[in-house]
A and B are shown apart, each in its own frame.
Chain A
């Protein structure tokens, strides 16, 4: 009667660029100087957008907003690795990924300003709508990727979610289906360590989230989520593997939510300033800047120009968002079904008449 170890597992960790901006050239992904600059410019743009969005909320010009601050490398590095024909399934915080995927910033703002037209993706743009119920979008990505596989299309679906989502049933069910059917999907988890006020230690007793993939029969990796090169490289590898028929991958980007959960939250109620400060020195943009400076890709003039251009683009986006005419009340009804049923016609008619009467 043997008693023996029948399986042992390992959880790989990838960091390419350390906190000081030092790079392991052997691990460095294949990126040109221009591409590295583009990554940097996206990160500056997204941070500028993010800061502006928080301010707009404070001024009452948009509604509740979920900031990206601190997670720029995780969002931009991963979205940058995708092809246009791939599909992205975001949660509600992927404003940065949306911007990299070409969603106009005015649209992103419009969504947060309480207008569904902010989720009306332009034709040909394969980005799904915001999903607010945590983790529910994991299943949609698996189903989409399964459709690609059925039609033998070389597309991949990538789904974004956070550490909190890994506690949900839909996460488990999605991971399980993906493993069983070898679905071409990438699970991109931004472990920002806080689900509003609940720390990662209350989500799981597992040492890493990456190891969860092992139980579903596929590869899980942890990467430094504040290292844009590590995120880009691991995402690209996972996407290529999926495209080649190699099935799913789970990527845990270990990062930190520097801001509040949303503008309606006050993170100082539940976490210490020391903890936040300890993460500030790991800032994803600053370490990339240091690296670029060392490589001659960054100068003060260039940095100033990038910042200035980002501010100008964000200013224009805000202007465009605010110049958008109000949605029509008919829009409440128009998109419920392809054809409006009688009961909705009647409700709309009643509303129209009430509005007309109100104006008399």
Chain B
């Protein structure tokens, strides 16, 4: 088994799924000859040819809308949108069509489509290259939303997303694309969509998070241990549909919840998680739910980026507050 990072895991999943199923095609800006701006599609053009690895014109709505048409007619397109902030021109196609075609046709047509995009901040990028748009998609009926945080999960979740009969928005936290490596087996395995993972077991509080915030929260949990606080960390992995059972089980065990998201706070996915806890587990709570989030401002250019992104200090303050209550 080789040790690989997240971007290599994306590449491995794409390569294996393309080899396994001829209907899988990859398309997007710079995905062919250049291997993708993050090299996620490196080598695929050479291996599968330009009919299956397609450098498209610069048109995000076009890439997604055309992928919808392909998917309806029997292909399994994996569309890459180069950066999170360029997903927005495709929102109309995702909201108005990808998520509705099965319903509109009462099951006659389906859209087995994956839209991949790097997401979130932390790499000192220009404007529009650091967005965390998951809540827009999680609010959209008929599409699933995935955001992995480890190489192993990335490969298994992406394979599952490609095989899924419904559209999946697959967001890849670019800050941790190459942050660490772990052993990822070659060959077939999938991780079912809709299942969260307890990445650190604990009894005192539940830190619920996803994406690039997962390694941060694990670090904070280790620090908290030094203070005698035994924190559980849950990586949601699939953001829609949410694994309500895992959230409920953890919070009912610990009685405290801190939700950590990089996206702006208001109406973010954390609000949904908090509401679910309120609805299902209120009487188990020993303290008010805390949210640590990006601010309700545009994502700043990189001189101020580190102040915008939730960091260990802010997460720890929230941990202390729920423990002190």
Contacts and interface: CB of A to CB of B under 8 A. Distances in A.
A182 B62 CA distance: 15
Contacts of A133: 92, 96
A120 interface: yes
Contacts of A119: 104-106, 108
A14 interface: no
Contacts of B101: 129
Contact of A116 (B70, B73, B103, B110): B103
A338 B110 contact: yes
B68 interface: yes
A90 to B, nearest CB: 12
Residue of B25, B62, B165, B245 with most partner-chain A CB within 10 A: B62
A87 interface: yes
A130 B141 CA distance: 19
Interface in B49-84: 51-52, 56-57, 59, 61-62, 64-75, 77
Given A169-B89, A341-B241, A177 B106 contact: no
Contacts of A151: 74
Given A170-B62, A177-B57, A146 B142 contact: no
A335 B109 CA distance: 10
A29 interface: no
A69 interface: no
B93 A143 contact: no
A178 to B, nearest CB: 9
A355 interface: no
A143 B66 contact: yes
Residue of A146, A169, A336 with most partner-chain B CB within 10 A: A146
Contacts of A89: 69
A143 B69 contact: yes
Given A173-B59, A335-B102, A140 B96 contact: no
B194 interface: yes
A128 B66 contact: no
B69 A147 contact: yes
Main secondary structure of the interface of A (DSSP, over half): helix
B24 to A, nearest CB: 11
Contact of A129 (B62, B74, B104): B104
A140 B105 CA distance: 15
A354 to B, nearest CB: 16
Interface residues of A, number: 45
Contacts of B68: 139-140, 143
A133 B52 CA distance: 29
Given A144-B73, A177-B62, A177-B66, A139 B104 contact: no
Residue of A87, A140, A176 with most partner-chain B CB within 10 A: A140
B103 A343 contact: no
Nearest to A115: B106
Given A128-B109, A177-B56, A140 B104 contact: no
Interface string A170-187: 100110110010000000
B57 A173 contact: yes
A184 B257 CA distance: 55
Given A173-B61, A174-B62, A337-B102, A136 B108 contact: no
B290 interface: no
Contact of A341 (B57, B62, B65, B194): B194
A150 interface: yes
Nearest to A344: B241
Contacts of A173: 57, 59, 61-62, 65
Ordered nearest first, which 5 A-B pairs have the shortest CB separation? A143-B69, A139-B65, A173-B62, A341-B241, A143-B66
11 contacts: A116-B106, A121-B108, A142-B65, A142-B69, A143-B71, A144-B69, A146-B70, A150-B52, A169-B89, A174-B65, A177-B57
